[in-house]
Amino acid sequence: MLISGPSADKYDAVSDFAAIASDQDDIDAHARFPDHVANLVRIRDILLARRRLFAQDAAAFPVVTMGRAGDIITVSRMLTELDAIIEQEKRLASETA
């Protein structure tokens, strides 16, 4: 049985997202990455895998080609920005070391 959530006007998205992104949560030691560059590289790897899946999806199902092309472009832009952010974090880490 599914229970409906609160109505949109009563839903507190900020506190919900704060709970998800909180660093105070009890996370297993193997899942926590205190290294910012490692976190960003991990996100980059996930996005690369996602982009490849989008391309595979478009090849397998031609009806979704245009939509997946847009998804691939969006992810590619994210990767470009993420590469710049990774370089910035590496510079910041070397300056503080």
For the chain, domain boundaries: 34-96
Quote the mean pLDDT of the chain.
83
Fold of the 34-96 domain: Methane Monooxygenase Hydroxylase; Chain G, domain 1 (1.20.58)
pLDDT band at 9 (very low <50, low <70, confident <90, very high): confident
Can you tell me the mean pLDDT for 6-35? 63
Can you tell me the mean pLDDT for 60-69? 94
pTM listed for this prediction: 0.65
Identify the residue with better confidence: 73 or 8.
73
pLDDT at 83 over 90: yes
pLDDT at 66 over 90: yes
47: which residues sit within 8 A by CB, 6+ positions away?
75, 78, 79, 82
Can you tell me the mean pLDDT for 59-70? 95
